[in-house]
């Protein structure tokens, strides 16, 4: 009897315990556990947008998205990662670079993120893995769109490339809009227009089973794809400029004088931007980084070179405008120049001298002595202030990242940068584009546009228009200013002299004269190293990498300019024989092609 009572008490207590637990789960915490249950059943998945495409001015595609397969490992679902990778390598090639990249990415990701161990799998590799997939828990093949640059090095420095989002970028981006997105623009147009190209993330609410498999889609908010960009860039010109540079390293910048649109922007040598999309191997990166030719360096907007004699038309204009010289006023050139009371001789490029020189001849024959005297008369302060209005010493504001400003020296700059006073001799060499004076090829081209337009300064632009979501196309706004207080006659006098550089019997670029259109230009040569007073520069005996740079600026047609070009050929020697023909080929391709039916 007693045992029956004890058993009844135990049963009663057990029932009370169960009822209490039911009350706790079903009544007191019903809402909480219902929510947890739904969370297990329903998931929100981000849907990354498709990145916008990039076209040149003729509709040639420059950046696109191609389908590709990647083999991904999720660490949280993989029992032994090292053993898994070793087993995978027996059915799909996985090299040391793949392993290093996986290791690096694993340190940056969370345990439940999938990380690629191999990208761009072939169809055969995908099939081979599918047969063996049951052996590899946590390993899946993902199909996705990869950024692709079909013209490779021809557009590398303009477009830049996309790469995987790093820790620093994660701190700067809108994390919600980038959920599901793995890549971001790293430089060039891809970086400048990241907001437009990326688009907006979408969301998908799905029902999944206990194994995480999607059973059905409950709600779908599609992503908003990135906007397509149309550049001013003309790939015919870009290719012509690269080909014209031949084996030289250098840069070419060509700008439409009417819009400021950049028609060609070449930095040679280039590189294949596709290497960076999924992470470049350390070996390939080391090869690019350590190359003496510096293929990763964007010479067009970051290369800073002495402008040499290409700056003489601007300084001549300064002399006319400030009233320190007239167009026909002459200066005698004996082949050297000396400051009053000084022994040092500032040499002219022509050892025997040019004789009597007025401004037109001084531009045509590029007489250094004439410009020594003009620079001294102007003084560094007026010289600096006038050249500033053409954009020398400051970034052009092009819609690309990483542009450098060059250097337009002044007394104040030297005092702050060098803690030294300005010396009169430094004004002389500034007058022939040497000394501290540095410009970028793009800066030279932009300043040439201002000359061609008789003072209308236009900000260079890469992007001409953007496709909007409603199907319309938005044209980017042209930004221009007019240089004030320049006598119209002075523009014509300087441009007349520049035209004679090509058409005159003694013009330094007479070899590129065209029967089809008039060209106004100016040659230049920039020293790579300083020749001592008692030494002579002999190109034949100088190491190739220490030879002078060749420069040339030009615009055409003279009467109604449509294109302005700046060329720099590193260690090319002479502007007239090396740089000018490159500009002529670019102008021919643009102007004569336009005239064809």
Q: How far is CA 333 from CA 347, 351, 365, 483, 528, in A?
A: 10, 10, 12, 32, 25
Positions of E strands within 153-295: 162-164, 183-185, 202-208, 214-221, 229-231, 250-256, 262-268
Say if CB 50 and CB 222 are below 8 A apart. no
| 331 DSSP β-pair partners | 357
Say if CB 52 and CB 61 are below 8 A apart. no
Q: Which structure tokens are listed for 516?
A: 């089809």
Contacts with 28 (C-beta within 8 Å, 6 or more apart), sequence order: none
Q: Is 447 exposed, middle or buried (0-12, 13-18, 19+ CB in 10 A)?
A: buried
Secondary structure (3-state) at 71: strand
Q: Which of 309, 366, 410, 450 is catalytic?
A: 309
Q: Is 297 exposed, middle or buried (0-12, 13-18, 19+ CB in 10 A)?
A: middle
For residue 62, how many other CB atoms are within 10 A of its CB? 22
- Please name which of 122, 156, 142, 172 lies closest in space to residue 70, comparing C-alpha atoms: 142
How many whole angstroms separate alpha carbon 290 and alpha carbon 34? 61
How many whole angstroms separate alpha carbon 403 and alpha carbon 396? 8
Residue count (the chain): 597
* Strand pairing class (463-467; 549-556): unpaired
Say if CB 494 and CB 448 are below 8 A apart. no
Phi-psi region of 152 (alpha: psi -120 to 50; beta: other; left: phi over 0): left
Phi, psi for 439 (deg, rounded to 5)? -135, 160
**Residue matched to tokens 């083999």:** 71
Is 577 tagged catalytic?
Answer: no
For residue 363, how many other CB atoms are within 10 A of its CB? 29
* Strand pairing class (229-231; 54-55): parallel
Q: Measured over all CA atoms, what is the biggest interatomic distance in the chain, rounded to whole angstroms?
A: 139
How many whole angstroms separate alpha carbon 27 and alpha carbon 25? 6
Phi, psi for 8 (deg, rounded to 5)? -65, -40
Q: Is 409 exposed, middle or buried (0-12, 13-18, 19+ CB in 10 A)?
A: buried
Contacts with 191 (C-beta within 8 Å, 6 or more apart), sequence order: 160, 185, 401
How many whole angstroms separate alpha carbon 104 and alpha carbon 99? 9
Say if CB 435 and CB 243 are below 8 A apart. no
| Active centre residues (catalytic) | 309
């Amino acid at each position: 009897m007693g045992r029956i009572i004890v058993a009844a008490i135990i049963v009663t207590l057990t029932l009370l315990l169960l009822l209490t637990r039911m009350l706790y789960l079903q009544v007191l915490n019903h809402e909480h556990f219902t929510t947890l249950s739904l969370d297990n059943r329903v998931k929100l998945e981000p849907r990354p947008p498709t990145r916008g495409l990039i076209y040149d001015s003729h509709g040639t595609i420059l950046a696109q998205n191609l389908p590709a397969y990647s083999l991904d490992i999720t660490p949280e679902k993989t029992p032994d990662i090292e053993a898994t990778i070793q087993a995978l390598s027996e059915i799909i090639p996985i090299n040391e670079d793949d392993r290093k990249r996986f290791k690096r990415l694993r340190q940056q990701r969370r345990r439940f993120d999938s990380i690629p161990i191999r990208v761009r799998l072939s169809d055969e590799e995908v099939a081979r893995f599918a047969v063996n997939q049951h052996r590899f828990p946590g390993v899946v093949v993902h199909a996705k769109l990869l950024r692709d640059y079909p013209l490779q090095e021809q557009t590398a420095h303009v477009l830049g490339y996309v790469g995987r989002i790093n820790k620093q970028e994660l701190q700067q981006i809108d994390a919600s809009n980038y959920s599901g997105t793995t890549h971001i623009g790293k430089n060039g147009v891809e970086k400048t227009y990241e907001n437009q190209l990326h688009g907006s993330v979408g969301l998908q609410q799905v029902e999944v089973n206990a194994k995480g498999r999607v059973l059905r889609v409950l709600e779908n908010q599609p992503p908003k794809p990135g906007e397509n960009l149309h550049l001013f860039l003309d790939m015919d010109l870009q290719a012509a400029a690269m080909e014209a540079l031949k084996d030289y390293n250098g840069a070419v910048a060509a700008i439409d004088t009417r819009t400021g649109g950049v028609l060609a922007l070449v930095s040679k040598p280039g590189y294949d931007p596709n290497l960076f999309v999924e992470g470049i191997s350390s070996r390939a990166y080391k090869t690019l980084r350590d190359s003496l030719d510096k293929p990763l360096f964007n010479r067009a907007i970051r290369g800073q070179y002495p402008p040499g004699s290409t700056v003489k038309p601007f300084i001549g204009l300064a002399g006319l405008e400030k009233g320190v010289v007239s167009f026909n006023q002459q200066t005698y050139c004996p082949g050297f120049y000396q400051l009053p009371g000084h022994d040092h001789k500032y040499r002219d490029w022509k050892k025997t001298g040019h004789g009597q020189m007025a401004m037109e001849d001084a531009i045509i024959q590029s007489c250094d002595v004439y410009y020594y005297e003009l620079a001294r008369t102007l003084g560094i302060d007026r010289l600096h202030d006038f050249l500033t209005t053409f954009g020398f010493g400051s970034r052009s504001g092009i819609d690309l990242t990483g542009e450098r400003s060059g250097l337009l020296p002044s007394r104040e700059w030297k005092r702050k940068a060098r803690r030294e006073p300005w010396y009169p001799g430094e004004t002389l060499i500034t007058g022939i584009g040497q000394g501290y004076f540095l410009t970028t090829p793009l800066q030279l081209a932009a300043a040439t546009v201002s000359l061609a337009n008789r003072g209308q300064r236009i900000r260079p632009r890469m992007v001409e228009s953007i496709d909007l979501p409603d199907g319309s196309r938005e044209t980017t706004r042209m930004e221009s200013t007019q240089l004030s207080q320049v006598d119209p006659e002075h523009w014509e006098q300087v441009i007349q002299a520049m035209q004679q550089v090509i058409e005159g019997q003694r013009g330094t670029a007479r070899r590129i004269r065209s029967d089809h259109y008039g060209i106004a230009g100016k040659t230049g040569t920039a020293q790579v190293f300083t020749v001592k007073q008692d030494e002579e520069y002999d190109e034949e005996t100088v190491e190739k990498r220490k030879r002078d740079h060749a420069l040339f600026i030009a615009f055409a047609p003279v009467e109604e300019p449509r294109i302005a070009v700046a060329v720099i050929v590193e260690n090319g020697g002479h502007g007239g024989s090396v740089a000018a023909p490159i500009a002529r080929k670019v102008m021919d391709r643009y102007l004569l092609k336009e005239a064809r039916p």
